[in-house]
Structure 1
Amino acid sequence: MHERLRRAIVAGSFRNGERLNERQLAEMLGVSTTPVKDAIRKLESEGLVRTEARRGVFVEFSARQALEMALGRAALESVMTHIAANHISDSEIVEMARLIDEMEHATDHSALEDLVNLNEAYHGMIHRISGCAYLERRLDGQRMYDHAQRIALLAVNSERRQGFVEHQGIFAALAAHDPALAEQRMRSHIVRSAKSHVRQVFGADAEGLAYDE
């Protein structure tokens, strides 16, 4: 229940500021109000809804918030990629090359679920190679957004292709032990993807939220 509502909010099914009616949600989802209340409490802890006394529960997910979350991720993950480029071993390069091959196959065959899982494995491997446990914990708070964003973006063929090319480029920089290039490519990949997702979800509401690297 929590995951379904989270994905719906991040995908734009509910607009920023929209009031959520627990009873209507329960009827729509075919459940009692108890799991809906539990889900809303979790969403509030994640910053995706807010509760106002005597007024109700409201969606708290705007184009600006989505972009800010992505910029935070880009800052952390690009640093981790920089460090990983200095530490990656020959065996890890071989392992990541196999992962890239699997991603290419999933991209060619539009295997969305596989591609989402492979994307997360790819980024997770870079985190592991970097050894930055502290920075990885800082990313934990928005994994739900990253996951939902991947599902939405990778459903679009052009995004699947562009994302794969970018992952190839990041891998090439890692394999070449070029930390500056690996960092720059990871940052560019995350920011570009985020802008695409913001436009996909918020449309005209995303205008004016430019971020130039």
Structure 2
Amino acid sequence: MPQTDYQANSAEVPPAATLPPLRQPASRTDRVRDALRQAILEGALPPGKALVERELAEMYGVSKTPVREALKQLQSTGLVEPNAYQGVSVRRPDNRLVQELYTARCAAEPEAVRLAAVRLGATPHAAARQALQEATALIGSGETRGLGVANRRFHRALYTACDNGFLCGFLDQLQDLTAFVAGLGWRLRATWEEEAAEHAAILTAMEQGDGPLAERLTREHIEKAKQTISRALGDAPGAGR
């Protein structure tokens, strides 16, 4: 079978250095989406809260079009869901969501962390350690609104080091919903310090290049979080509605 010559037409394509960089400012849709995302993750917009396009457009000083597009993007992440009034509301997590979400994480993340530890070997992991320090500082100050995002940065710093685009892409899709569910669980039952200790143990195994230990600790951490959040949601008033 003849081989395709991928270089045959390379002369027709200008070198990357001659192409102008993309410096387009963030769109109104992006700004609205990011503001709503932050409000949802920090609990300012609670589960079940209806998100009305007209009200949001007035609040942010934009037309309804960027609000509508922002809500569509948030729906694709799982943070909002359709409601009975042909609009959308902040998602109301239940135990089924927790089980499915954390089972999906458990199927992929421990293996990604193991591959990352083997790939990097025994070496400091600056990005993960910085994220862990930021999370620890938030816990110490009592300012825990941004803790979910800091924890997601920690987990992402670990699993992206595996350098497997398919694994990372799959886990990235779960990031916002994981931060949302974890944040809701903490508001019902605070487990910040326990999770911080578990993160520290995972990072130690990672920096020692111990792939099997890092994998086991990550799996145990995710499974424990699943059980804790499920119990917290089960104890919450109106759970399962």
State the TM-score, normalized to the length of structure 2.
0.62
Matches within 5 A, 1:112-127: 112=144, 115-116=147-148, 118-127=150-159
The residue correspondences of 1:9-158 to structure 2 (distance < 5 A) are 11=43, 13-15=46-48, 21-26=52-57, 32-47=63-78, 48-50=80-82, 56-59=86-89, 61-63=92-94, 64-93=96-125, 100=132, 103-112=135-144, 115-116=147-148, 118-149=150-181, 151-152=183-184, 158=190
Instruction: Give the C-alpha shift of residue 6 in structure 1.
Output: 4.3
Match of 1:184 in 2: 216
Query: Number of matched residues?
Result: 203
- Percentage identity across paired residues of the two chains: 24
* Structure (1 or 2) with the greater helix fraction: 1
| Superposition deviation, residue 69 in structure 1 | 1.8
Residues 89-134 of structure 1: CA deviation (Å, up to 9, x unaligned): 3433577556655554443333546755643443233124322222
CA RMSD of aligned residues (A): 3.9
User: What amino acid is the match of 1:193?
Assistant: A
- For the residue of structure 2 that corresponds to 1:13, the secondary structure is coil
* Greater relative contact order (Cα < 8 A, sep 6+): 1
Counterpart residue type for residue 13 of structure 1:
P
Is contact 2:149–2:179 with CA below 8 Å preserved after alignment?
Answer: no
Match of 1:210 in 2: none
Secondary structure of the structure 2 residue equivalent to 1:184: helix
1:45 Cα offset (Å): 2.9
CA offset at residue 58 of structure 1? 4.3
Which of 159, 168, 173 is 2:191 aligned to? 159
1:173 to 199, 205, 224: 205
String of CA shifts for 1:147-206, please: whole Å, max 9, x gaps: 434555667894220111101121232244433332121122223334444555672565
- The letter of the residue matching 1:146 is T
Question: Offset of 1:144 from its aligned partner?
Answer: 1.8
Partners of 1:204 and 1:157 lie apart in 2 by: 13
Gaps of 5+ in 1: 208-213
Max Rg structure = 2
Preserved contact between residue 112 and residue 151 of structure 1 (Cα < 8 Å): no
SS in 2 for 1:86: helix
In the superposition, relative to structure 1, how do residues 23 and 69 fare at CA in structure 2: closer, same or farther (>3 Å)? same
